[in-house]
């Protein structure tokens, strides 16, 4: 919980208690807070199962109106875009105070901030639920728990077997890796790409995937090692991961030239995002060399012809293996 906002909770609880005494709408607004908690709990489970990117789609599904819903959408959009957690924190707190919120509206925004912070950190949904319930007055917590228990009893007989996604195909394509030889076209580009991806975290991977179309990703992964393929699959929703895996199987053998071209396209996306500072990897100095090889820092980024870059890529790969570009 944000330390500077902790004192606000006591004030908010008192305001809600006072409001409910003097206003018949109190129970209705309490119910809205319960709906807010149920909504963020649902989002937490979706995030855990399908990844942060899935949350953006979930935001705009038609559903009931929530207090200060625009604040929630703004915060989650920043989370999905991979913004720095401290920046999100500062913007959320600034918005909280700028709106001069009271009672139920203030509590809703506090829930949004706490939930988004923990979603970004990958906290277990059950823990997020308890952290959120620790924010609300006891009578709202009781109402939420009673409702959750009723729904659990009513749906005990339901099964999710038919809704589960079969990840067998994903496992199959991950285990089938092309065996590259140093004399083969594309070897140095592929290996450097795998090195780059091994140094990039999940948040950056999700940002990269926003700028890569599924066809390019499908072709590229036909030539990547198991770890790199799993990194991409782990940052896609389960359904999209299966769809791409099935497409990889359906395509059968793909020409090496198509694999190399697709990998190069994704690598250029990564280097462009690095050149603009959207994703970073402090101390990994060979990115500068790669940006030069692919002409990323020119006014109009342009892919270098692969044949012209082979010698430079080979030299860079050898320098990396000799320890010249180890991370600081």
Domain assignment present for 32: yes
Q: Which of 162, 181, 215 is the last residue of a domain?
A: 162
Q: Which has more pLDDT, 198 or 177?
A: 198
Residues 191 and 153 in one domain: no
pLDDT, residue 305, reads: 60
Rounded CA separation 152/157 (Å): 10
Residues 173 and 261 in one domain: yes
Residues 47 and 180 in one domain: no
CATH of the domain at 244: 1.10.220.30
Residues 227 and 88 in one domain: no
Residues 237 and 199 in one domain: yes
CA trace torsion 32, 38, 40, 46 (10° rounding): -150
Q: What angle do CA 117, 120, 122 make, to 5 degrees?
A: 110
Rounded CA separation 212/68 (Å): 33
pLDDT, residue 42, reads: 86
CA trace torsion 175, 181, 182, 185 (10° rounding): -90
Residues 200 and 233 in one domain: yes
Taking a C-beta distance cutoff of 8 angstroms, is the pair 208, 247 a contact? no
Contacts of residue 279, defined as CB under 8 A and 6 or more positions apart, other chains included, come to 82, 200, 204, 207, 208, 270, 273
Question: What confidence category does residue 181 fall into, taking pLDDT thresholds of 50, 70 and 90?
Answer: confident
pLDDT, residue 217, reads: 92
* Whether residue 163 has pLDDT greater than 60: no
Rounded CA separation 100/261 (Å): 53
For residue 74, how many C-alpha atoms fall within 13 Å in the half-sphere facing its CB? Answer: 16
pLDDT, residue 157, reads: 42
Residues 70 and 197 in one domain: no
Domain assignment present for 33: yes
Domain assignment present for 279: yes
Q: Which has more pLDDT, 218 or 199?
A: 218
The single-letter DSSP state of residue 84 is -
Question: What confidence category does residue 153 fall into, taking pLDDT thresholds of 50, 70 and 90?
Answer: low
Q: Which has more pLDDT, 302 or 180?
A: 180
How high does pLDDT run on average in the chain? Answer: 79
Expressed as residue numbers, the domain containing 294 is 168-321
Residues 284 and 315 in one domain: yes
Domain assignment present for 311: yes
CA–chain centroid gap for 252, Å, is: 30
Residues 126 and 217 in one domain: no
Rounded CA separation 88/91 (Å): 5
pLDDT, residue 136, reads: 87
Map tokens 């809600």 to a residue: 16
Q: Which of 128, 162, 196 is the last residue of a domain?
A: 162
Residues 286 and 176 in one domain: yes
pLDDT, residue 308, reads: 58
Return phi, psi of residue 222, to 5°: -65, -20
pLDDT, residue 298, reads: 56
pLDDT in tens, 248-260: 888 888 888 889 8
**Quick one: angle between helices 306-321 and 187-198, nearest 10?**
50
The single-letter DSSP state of residue 2 is -
Number of domains in the chain: 2
Say what percent of the chain tops pLDDT 70.
82
Rounded CA separation 121/137 (Å): 25
Rounded CA separation 15/33 (Å): 14
pLDDT, residue 60, reads: 66
pLDDT in tens, 7-45: 677 788 888 888 788 877 778 888 888 888 988 888 888
Q: Distances in Å between the alpha carbon of 48 and those of 14, 123, 125, 219, 240? A: 34, 9, 7, 27, 15
CA–chain centroid gap for 54, Å, is: 8
pLDDT, residue 304, reads: 57
The single-letter DSSP state of residue 305 is P
Across 149-158, average pLDDT: 59
Domain assignment present for 154: yes
SS3 of residue 299 by DSSP: coil
Q: Which of 125, 146, 162 is the last residue of a domain?
A: 162
Rounded CA separation 259/265 (Å): 10
Q: Which has more pLDDT, 172 or 326?
A: 172
Residues 72 and 111 in one domain: yes
The end-to-end CA distance of the chain, in Å, is 33
Q: Distances in Å between the alpha carbon of 321 and those of 178, 186, 197, 224, 312? A: 21, 17, 16, 19, 14
Residues 105 and 241 in one domain: no
Domain assignment present for 104: yes
- The least confident of 232-236, 244-248, 293-297 is 293-297
Question: What confidence category does residue 6 fall into, taking pLDDT thresholds of 50, 70 and 90?
Answer: low
Domain assignment present for 187: yes
* Whether residue 164 has pLDDT greater than 50: no
Domain assignment present for 327: no
Return phi, psi of residue 76, to 5°: -65, -35
pLDDT, residue 262, reads: 92
pLDDT, residue 266, reads: 92
Per-residue exposure over 52-62, b if at least 16 CB sit within 10 Å of its own CB, e if not: bbbbeebeeee
Across 202-213, average pLDDT: 86
């Amino acid at each position: 919980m944000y330390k500077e906002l902790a004192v606000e909770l006591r004030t908010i609880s008192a305001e809600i208690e006072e409001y409910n005494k003097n206003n018949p709408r109190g129970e209705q607004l309490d119910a809205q807070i319960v709906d807010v908690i149920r909504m963020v709990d649902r989002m937490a489970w979706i995030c855990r199962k399908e990844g942060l990117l899935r949350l953006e789609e979930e935001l705009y599904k038609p559903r009931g109106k929530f207090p200060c819903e625009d604040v929630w959408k703004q915060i989650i959009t920043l989370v999905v875009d991979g913004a720095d957690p401290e920046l999100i924190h500062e913007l959320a707190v600034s918005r909280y105070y700028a709106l001069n919120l009271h009672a139920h509206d203030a509590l809703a925004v506090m829930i949004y901030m706490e939930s988004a912070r923990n979603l970004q950190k990958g906290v277990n949904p059950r823990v997020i639920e308890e952290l959120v319930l620790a924010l609300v007055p006891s009578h709202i917590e009781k109402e939420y728990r009673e409702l959750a228990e009723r729904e659990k009893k009513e749906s005990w007989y339901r099964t999710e077997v038919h809704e589960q996604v079969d990840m067998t195909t994903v496992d199959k394509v991950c285990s089938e890796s092309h065996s590259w030889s140093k004399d083969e076209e594309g070897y140095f580009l592929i290996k450097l790409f795998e090195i780059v991806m091994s140094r990039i975290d999940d948040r950056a991977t999700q940002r990269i995937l926003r700028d890569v179309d599924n066809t390019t990703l499908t072709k590229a992964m036909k030539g990547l090692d198991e770890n790199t393929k799993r990194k991409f699959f782990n940052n896609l929703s389960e359904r999209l991961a299966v769809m791409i895996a099935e497409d990889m199987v359906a395509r059968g053998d793909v020409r090496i030239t198509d694999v190399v071209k697709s990998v190069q396209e994704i690598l250029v996306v990564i280097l462009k995002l690095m050149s603009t500072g959207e994703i970073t990897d402090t101390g990994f100095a060979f990115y500068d060399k790669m940006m030069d090889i692919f002409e990323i820092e020119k006014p109009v980024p342009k892919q270098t012809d692969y044949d012209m870059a082979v010698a430079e890529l080979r030299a860079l790969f050898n320098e990396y293996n000799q320890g010249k570009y180890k991370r600081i």
